[in-house]
Structure 1
Amino acid sequence: MIGNPIVASLELGGTKSIASLTQGTRILQQERIATGDRPEAVLAFMIETLQRWMRETPFAAIGVASFGPVGLDADREDFGYILTTPKPGWSNFNLLPRIRDSFDLPIGFDTDVGGAALAEGLWGASSGCRTHAYLTIGTGVGLGLIVDGKVHHGALHPEAGHVRLRRSPGDTFQGICPFHGDCLEGLISGPALISRAGGPVDQLPASDSIWAHVAHDLAEFLTMLLLVTSAERILLGGGVALGRPMLLPAIHAAVAQRLNGYLHKCAPSDLQTRIRFAGLGADAGPLGGSALALQALQRR
């Protein structure tokens, strides 16, 4: 990529959606709106914001990073659509086609976690890694997987938040996922934790049993992720993860115990580097859209 172009980023998250104007890792402008259950209103706000920025500070490309599942196969009719989702009002919404109708620019499109994983590889805590993953834990649980600098897709994209795990001993919580009940998202997402606790969890002490169950569930999942992908680094992001630093030591110990010496360099001390918090923090999402925009510009 020649120079340091200004690009626009749209991040659609489960709770809020953010429009950003960026140059590298610098966020020049930013606007946000509650995602809610009215996609038409959210998209209109986003498009109007980008059109205003284009008049003031022309940008070279747009990156769209959205909660999923989304259609990523350019040969299918649902390319660029949000598919069947638990998010009320958003199923089968034609997101990307509407943006393309408004801007004659290169547009990159992927999941919000795929974009965040890409940004962490370019500028954050996975820099220099060929294979790395980003797990976000917030309104939902999502996984972005990067292989050789590209976001991994298959028939769809990773939907790892909906895997089922061995349950934590003594944990009888039924889970809240409308599709699977006690999948990973149904157990440890922000809404799941509120349901477990019967209210906000911000003030729960580190000794509360809820956090032991969360550490167990994450260790189960991360052990499987290491065995399946052999990721050089796994980053944890999202409000639930970033707000609970006391979880990491317990996760490292539990993953090492589950691996039982099987994988190379997976002692607890090694896992401190291999499994860690996202380096871009809360900016991983907006910068994920920026990374997708830069890739689209490069392809053009």
Structure 2
Amino acid sequence: MLIGGIEAGGTKFVCAVGDENGKVLDKVSFPTGDPDATLAEAKAFFDQHDITALGVGTFGPVDLNRHSDTYGNILNTPKTKWRNYPLLKKFQADYSVPVYLDTDVNAACLGEYNYGVSRGVDSCLYITVGTGIGAGLVQDGKVFQGRNHSEMGHILVQKHEEDPFEGACPSHGSCIEGLASGTAIEKRYSKKGIELVDNEKVWEIEAYYLAQAIMNYFVVLQPEKIILGGGVMKQEKLYSMIRQQFMELLNGYLQVENVNELIVAPSLEDEQGVLGAIALCE
């Protein structure tokens, strides 16, 4: 049985087919362009395979409220050609199989829960730190969703005393996305993170903000694993810095037996998104 999966990112689409055991059998990726061209390229790939279902983890914001008139639509995204695009309806029209839709970060979380570093635990939180910041929670094999999908990238955090930057989020300024995303780093320093590798103050401030957010998530949700992915986390030294500041902020209030096993990197070599999309169909 072949299952299709799409990691529909704001920068690139990754399309894959795999089986129910989490084995990817074929995969292709291409830049995210306008909707018609991008989805036509995806369909050309899946037309080569006899899939029985399709799972999609998409960039957002996306309407996941099943009672909404715009359920399955991309909402107020900065990608103007995708704004208000009826993504789910388009997939349902193009494919004669069941289609399952969720956010890209929820799919990544489910991929790591089923096949990766969180396999064997009851709950895990996946945080992506890239152009934006988002997070998804899986509990007992189910992706958490309230009225709509969570927007954990927009929690408020305390400013670092040496950071005059007002924040990059157009709605909230100094939320965690506005202060710690890749976009925030570039706007604060007028350089991309990759150009700031040796500037320790950059990563000290970055770790300070991310540790605050993780502490907030941890005391509320109590996940057994917290996975940090996304382009910013390619700076591997951040993991130890975040762990140290997280423990300092927690200040012994809750027991953490091994912070190195609590806060971890993804383990699926950038396939967690498509594997999670496939897992949405189970």
Aligned-CA RMSD value: 1.5
Contact 2:197 2:235 in 1 (8 A): no
TM-score (norm 1): 0.89
Q: Write the distance in 2 (CA, Å) between the matches of 1:191 and 1:286.
A: 24
Measured against aligned partners, the alpha-carbon deviations of 1:44-69 in whole angstroms (never above 9, x if no partner) come to: 22122212x23xxx122111100112
Deviation of residue 141 (structure 1)?
A: 0.9
Counterpart among 262, 268, 273 of residue 285 in structure 1: 273
Q: Write the distance in 2 (CA, Å) between the matches of 1:134 and 1:167.
A: 23
Contact 1:145 1:158 in 2 (8 A): no
Letter matched to residue 273 of structure 1: E
Contact 1:161 1:184 in 2 (8 A): yes
Letter matched to residue 26 of structure 1: K
Q: Write the distance in 2 (CA, Å) between the matches of 1:277 and 1:111.
A: 20
Q: Write the distance in 1 (CA, Å) between the matches of 2:31 and 2:95.
A: 23
Give unpaired runs (5+ residues) of structure 1. Answer: 296-300
Aligned to 1:263: 254
Counterpart among 28, 39, 58 of residue 25 in structure 2: 28
Contact 2:63 2:75 in 1 (8 A): yes
Aligned to 2:191: 199
Q: Write the distance in 2 (CA, Å) between the matches of 1:175 and 1:44.
A: 37
Measured against aligned partners, the alpha-carbon deviations of 1:216-236 in whole angstroms (never above 9, x if no partner) come to: 000000000110001111101
- Say if 2:51 is the partner of 1:90: no
1:1-300 alignment, distance < 5 Å: 5-23=1-19, 24-36=21-33, 38-51=34-47, 53-54=48-49, 58-241=50-233, 243-265=234-256, 270-293=258-281, 295=282
Q: Write the distance in 1 (CA, Å) between the matches of 2:256 and 2:174.
A: 31
Measured against aligned partners, the alpha-carbon deviations of 1:103-140 in whole angstroms (never above 9, x if no partner) come to: 12122210001111111110001111212110011121
Letter matched to residue 28 of structure 2: E
Aligned to 1:298: none
Aligned sequence identity (%): 36
TM-score (norm 2): 0.94
Contact 1:11 1:19 in 2 (8 A): yes
Give unpaired runs (5+ residues) of structure 2. Answer: none
Deviation of residue 6 (structure 1)?
A: 1.9
Deviation of residue 207 (structure 1)?
A: 4.0
Measured against aligned partners, the alpha-carbon deviations of 1:244-298 in whole angstroms (never above 9, x if no partner) come to: 11011111111111111110225xxx111011111113111121211113x2xxx
SS of 2:52's equivalent in the other structure is: coil
Deviation of residue 17 (structure 1)?
A: 1.2
How many residues in Structure 1 have an aligned counterpart in Structure 2? 281
Contact 1:137 1:240 in 2 (8 A): yes
Q: Write the distance in 1 (CA, Å) between the matches of 2:252 and 2:168.
A: 34
